[in-house]
Amino acid sequence: MPEPIVSIRDLNKTYKGGYQALKNINLDIYPGEIIALLGPNGAGKTTLISTICGINQPTSGTVTVGGYDTVRDYRETRSLIGLVPQELTTDSFETPWVTVSFSRGLFNKPKDPAYIESVLKDVALWEKKDNKIITLSGGMKRRLLIAKALSHEPRILFLDEPTAGVDVELRRDMWRLVHRLRENGVTVILTTHYIEEAEEMADRVAVIANGEITLVDEKQALMQKLGKKQLILDLSQPLEALPESLPDFDLKLSEDNLQLIYTFESQGERTGITRLMEALRDEGIQFNDLRTAQSSLEEIFVQLVEEA
């Protein structure tokens, strides 16, 4: 296992009013991975990102980035990080070229017009480089914020709800961009409540609810561990009711009485499918077709949040 690039230990954040937004967070993030912080609104996702990036001060605990402490060695840690905020906060009367160049200067990087050009091209804003930001669409502003975050060539990119309120096409463009960044060795931490986004992009998922990380796992392992599978049987004849001889099985009958749905644990050693088939044969229930479906990350997430 490589050394984590971000390491969070016993992190707590309590705001002045007494509200505890983060509770004893422990998390390691590894170089080159894409990790999704998944949680409902108000779960603490943005507070966690803001604390790592230095916008919030931790109440207790430590965060190290690239081996440096985010409070003591803030110059080193912030130089490694690019942040794309959730809100579309831009300097309306500036141009993309000026604002991205400004960002690079803030992060103590020498002028590099060729690099700024490549970043603006990457986010498809090169044609708009001299337009006033106020004239750009919401999607363009979102991409501009990504360009600003990339202006100083960060090793870690935080994307706070990167596709909130953008259309499907743009969302897919953004996913492609994130994958390209990862190919270039950038570690990506994204917060989202779009499960589809986490499912599409993330290597690992951390679920955060009420300021606590309730679970961190590989996306695939998480889906396997908590995911349920369904066996759907298309019946030859409609069934009036579930046969009384099948009480041991988690069975449901569809509303049109033409499908029998059997839910089982995908990670279980014994799925019960063979026994179910035998029982159906004994009952004389015939079917034309069968297929399986796996529960999505969304269903797993709902389950986890409900448990929390």
Partner 1 sequence: MNLRAIKSIYAFEMARTRRTILQSVIAPVLSTSLYFVVFGSAIGSRIQEVEGVSYGAFLVPGLIMLSLLTQSISNASFGIYFPKFTGTIYELMSAPVSMIEAVCGYVGAAATKSVMLGLIILLTAFFFVDLRIEHPFLMLLFLILTAITFSLFGFIIGIWADNFEKLQLIPLLVVTPLVFLGGSFYSVSMLSPTWQTITLFNPVLYLVSGFRWSFYEIADVSIWVSLAMITVFMSICLLVLAWIFKTGYRLRS
Instruction: Name the residues that contact partner 1, by CB under 8 A.
Output: 15-16, 53-57, 74-76, 78-79, 81, 83, 85, 87, 89-94, 98, 101-110, 148
Q: Is 273 helix (H, G, I), strand (E, B) or coil?
A: helix
In the bound state with partner 1, the residue whose beta carbon lies nearer, of 81 and 202, is: 81
Question: Minimum distance between the CB of residue 249 and partner 1, rounded to whole angstroms?
Answer: 53
Question: Minimum distance between the CB of residue 103 and partner 1, rounded to whole angstroms?
Answer: 6
Question: Minimum distance between the CB of residue 188 and partner 1, rounded to whole angstroms?
Answer: 16
In the bound state with partner 1, the residue whose beta carbon lies nearer, of 165 and 268, is: 165
In the bound state with partner 1, the residue whose beta carbon lies nearer, of 78 and 228, is: 78
Based on the number of CB atoms within 10 Å of its own CB, is 152 exposed (0-12), middle (13-18) or buried (19 or more)? buried
Question: Minimum distance between the CB of residue 19 and partner 1, rounded to whole angstroms?
Answer: 11
Contact predicate 133/125, CB 8 Å: no
- Pairwise CA distance, residues 266 & 234, whole Å: 21
In the bound state with partner 1, the residue whose beta carbon lies nearer, of 162 and 227, is: 162
Give the C-alpha distances (Å, rounded to integers) separating 56 from 4, 51, 191, 225.
22, 5, 17, 35
Tokens linked to 138: 């919401």
In the bound state with partner 1, the residue whose beta carbon lies nearer, of 54 and 162, is: 54
Question: Minimum distance between the CB of residue 179 and partner 1, rounded to whole angstroms?
Answer: 24
Taking CB atoms within 8 Å and a gap of at least 24, the contacts of 219-222 are: 219/36, 219/297, 222/297, 222/300
